[in-house]
Structure 1
């Protein structure tokens, strides 16, 4: 980065790149739809996930429970219909939970780099490891949607800004740690399971982004692999 002038120029360039990434995340939610009486194609699976009687028949109580889940995670329309998007979110949650405390079971994230932040796009999980030792995580993340995929490969944290704000759209991106052009770890105020995803950044819950900020530093490695469902 050299001198202060160069750092300022980089910061402005990054702002222009990433401002649109979070703009969509702060848009007003869509109008809530009416609760549907129609059973969806994933009715039984959704009912089972929610701990309800898995009879495949939509009841008023079923609809309210499904709708509450959809509203919580920003799934629209939140009409209580057990469709593919709702089931996809639930299925991903189930797979994430099954990982437990061994996210690098496959050994795909390098263990010979020392401190490294790993991002598994397939499971929408991230963690920090030091060699083979798990330091933090795994935690759910929200990566790039179709057409704006988070780029894969080995990268490095090259710029950090704890209070990053877009000067174009005035959108806050707290705890930003950039590792690939305009793509960065940063916190957002939406659910990590809110479809369809970001515009390339690795979105995190505030507590997780804050922890990543304390554990990572400029020059640390980041490894992104896999493929996000639906991309």
Structure 2
């Protein structure tokens, strides 16, 4: 009988069922519940639910950044009419708002920061800006002064870098971006002298103001230009050397004397 009960216990363990215990007289008594040990229970497969979240795009440039890359960003934003000033080379408030507008129009997060996704989208919509698009409103570095500028008081004007250096005895005191005449009315090159200064000059030939004019060759002069201040290198002069910074040329006008040398070179 003991062997029978042992066999029934084994079956119960394996089957996980309820077995009936029998007395010696063969009568059934209270059923005995055989519980399976935890170790015998099937181990459920581990399931881990990791929320899927896209990796944020890497931020390339943001407010306060400066440099050539910012100029290119601003130049490309100009091409798609999201910014209308500059390029300045500084990631300023206007650039933040332009980037936000560009992002929002294309369903990107409106952060105002230029991340890799925003930049790639802008690249696909624009072309590589040229040098004078990057420096449309000035800010370009000046090239080395011409050897003829190294002595005396000189307005040293470079056509290659589009800059004017005000130099005294080989030392640069002021550097300004300048604009020249067009293909049909070119600015003459060579060595000249300032022969006349006219603070509030007005051109009767072209019917336009030429304030702070310093004449050096016929009707050609260094002077302030409102058109250059407004449009940058998108325009040109009738042969004069235009300056867009009125405050700077006002100071320069007071320093330059009649008879000072003017060198226009490449």
- Same topology, TM > 0.5: yes
**Per-residue CA distance 1:96-153 (angstroms, 9 max, x = gap):** 5344xxx5x35444212x11101001111001101111122x1101111112111000
2:154 pairs with 1:116:
yes
Contact 1:47-1:62 at 8 Å conserved across structures: no
Question: Closer, same or farther in 2 for the Cα pair 1:143/1:156, shift >3 Å?
Answer: same
Q: Matches of 1:134 and 1:153 in 2, distance apart?
A: 20
Q: 2:81 aligns with which of 50, 57, 64?
A: 64
Q: CA deviation at 1:63?
A: 1.6
2:181 pairs with 1:132:
no
Q: Matches of 1:51 and 1:215 in 2, distance apart?
A: 38
Q: Matches of 1:196 and 1:221 in 2, distance apart?
A: 27
Contact 2:181-2:187 at 8 Å conserved across structures: yes
SS at match of 1:199: coil
Q: 2:257 aligns with which of 217, 222, 230?
A: 217
Higher relative contact order (CA 8 A, sep 6+): 1
Q: Matches of 1:225 and 1:180 in 2, distance apart?
A: 14
Q: 2:197 aligns with which of 136, 154, 160?
A: 160
Q: CA deviation at 1:211?
A: 1.9
2:32 is matched with which residue? Answer: none
Rg comparison, structure with higher value: 2
Q: Which aligned pairs between 1:1-231 and structure 2 lie closer than 5 A?
A: 49-51=71-73, 63-65=80-82, 68-69=84-85, 82=126, 87-92=130-135, 97-99=140-142, 103=143, 105=144, 107-112=146-151, 114-136=152-174, 138-167=175-204, 170-191=207-228, 193-205=232-244, 206-226=246-266
Contact 2:140-2:177 at 8 Å conserved across structures: no
Contact 1:96-1:123 at 8 Å conserved across structures: no
Q: Matches of 1:225 and 1:186 in 2, distance apart?
A: 18
Cα RMSD for the two superposed structures: 3.6
TM-score under structure 2 length normalisation: 0.51
Contact 2:194-2:261 at 8 Å conserved across structures: yes
TM-score under structure 1 length normalisation: 0.58
Q: CA deviation at 1:93?
A: 5.8
Q: Matches of 2:126 and 2:228 in 1, distance apart?
A: 19
Contact 1:95-1:123 at 8 Å conserved across structures: no
Contact 2:216-2:262 at 8 Å conserved across structures: yes
